[in-house]
């Protein structure tokens, strides 16, 4: 079989994977704290024949860390991250990190994420508040106060730049390397009464989708042309 057919097929497989990531990004563009998925493609060279043939790899998926838009809600339990840091949650899968700061107070005083996971302080312990102590005030450094008295602090954690991220549910990530508590609050902090949205640009994603569709059509045309050429060659060379 002609190598052009394999090249076109490898291109279609790569484009199909990219389409899946775009579809997931668009589906979660209104999910608070969602981190978009991107795909990095490489070229695979084959020396099976007399000349090198370049194939498209299936691509390596990674989670984008760029920040999303921050929206004001006025809810005192909504908190957005300022800077390159994450909140930490205690889950059955271990510590999970997220930019979704829609918190709530349980009946027993536990500060929980919107999915019901305990929010952790800088030391990695669960935060416990007094449900009957009135309104919660959260400072720029994450310090939590009730009735003018500090009762806890929301932890911010930095994930190493070279760590790979695995997705947990919609908005959480699990890094391949341990995250460290953020100590410098000059470049990092929190904003009470705000929520960070998804870092998905819907216009850009739709532009990518259009380009992807055209590329897929081109790969399909190349595949069809390669099959046609091979069929014609077999017909012409077969009798001889």
Same domain (yes/no): 183, 210: no
Same domain (yes/no): 157, 187: yes
Output the pLDDT for position 43: 52
pLDDT above 90 (res 167): yes
Same domain (yes/no): 24, 128: no
pLDDT tens-digit map of 204-234: 888 888 877 776 666 666 566 655 655 665 5
Q: How far is CA 12 from CA 63, 80, 144, 216, 236, in A?
A: 22, 39, 52, 6, 29
DSSP letters, 180-200, are: EE----SS-EEEETEEE----
Q: How many domains does the chain have?
A: 2
pLDDT tens-digit map of 17-58: 788 888 889 999 999 999 998 877 555 444 555 555 554 556
Same domain (yes/no): 90, 176: yes
State which residues form the domain around 176: 70-196
pTM of the prediction? Answer: 0.78
Question: Percentage of the chain with pLDDT > 70?
Answer: 75
Locus of tokens 């416990």 = 128
Same domain (yes/no): 24, 42: yes
pLDDT above 50 (res 106): yes
Q: Which residues pair with 96 in a beta bridge?
A: 89
Same domain (yes/no): 7, 120: no
Average pLDDT over residues 137-163: 95
Pairing mode, strands 194-196 and 180-181: unpaired
Same domain (yes/no): 77, 176: yes
Average pLDDT over residues 184-209: 90
Q: Could you tell me the pLDDT band of residue 126, with boundaries at 50, 70 and 90?
A: very high
The whole-angstrom separation of Cα 195 and Cα 76 is: 11
Output the pLDDT for position 52: 57
Average pLDDT over residues 187-207: 92
For the chain, give the mean pLDDT: 84
Same domain (yes/no): 76, 22: no
Same domain (yes/no): 109, 159: yes
Output the pLDDT for position 233: 58
Same domain (yes/no): 127, 187: yes
Same domain (yes/no): 212, 131: no
Average pLDDT over residues 150-163: 96
Q: Which residue has the higher pLDDT, 202 or 92?
A: 92
Same domain (yes/no): 128, 16: no
The candidate with the shortest Cα–Cα distance to 160, out of 181, 179, 173, is 179
Output the pLDDT for position 1: 46
Neighbour-count burial of 203, counting CB atoms closer than 10 A to its CB (0-12 exposed, 13-18 middle, 19+ buried): exposed
With H, G, I as helix, E, B as strand and everything else as coil, classify residue 217.
Answer: helix
Output the pLDDT for position 44: 47
Torsion, Cα 99 84 193 106, to 10 degrees, reads 40
Q: Could you tell me the pLDDT band of residue 80, with boundaries at 50, 70 and 90?
A: very high
Output the pLDDT for position 212: 73
Q: Please calculate the CA angle 211-214-217 and round it to the nearest 5 degrees.
A: 150
């Amino acid at each position: 079989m002609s190598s052009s057919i394999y090249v076109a097929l490898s291109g279609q497989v790569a484009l199909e994977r990219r389409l899946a990531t775009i579809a997931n990004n668009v589906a979660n563009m209104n999910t608070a704290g969602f981190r978009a998925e991107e795909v990095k493609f490489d070229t695979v060279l084959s020396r099976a024949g007399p000349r090198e043939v370049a194939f498209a790899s299936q691509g390596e998926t990674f989670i984008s860390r760029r920040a999303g838009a921050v929206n004001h809600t006025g809810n005192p339990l909504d908190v957005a991250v300022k800077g390159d840091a994450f909140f930490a949650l205690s889950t059955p899968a271990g510590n999970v990190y997220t930019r979704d700061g829609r918190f709530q107070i349980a009946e027993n005083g536990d500060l929980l994420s919107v999915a019901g996971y305990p929010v952790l302080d800088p030391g990695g312990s669960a935060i416990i508040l007094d449900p009957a102590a009135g309104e919660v005030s959260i400072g720029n450094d994450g310090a939590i106060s009730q009735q003018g008295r500090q009762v806890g602090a929301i932890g911010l954690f930095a994930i190493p730049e070279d760590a790979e991220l695995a997705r947990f549910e919609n908005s959480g990530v699990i890094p391949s390397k341990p995250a460290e508590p953020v100590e410098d609050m000059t470049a990092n902090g929190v904003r009470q009464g705000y929520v960070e949205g998804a870092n998905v640009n819907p216009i850009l994603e739709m532009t990518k989708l259009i380009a992807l569709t055209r590329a897929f059509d081109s790969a399909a045309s190349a595949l069809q042309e390669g099959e046609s050429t091979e069929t014609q060659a077999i017909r012409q060379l077969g009798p001889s």
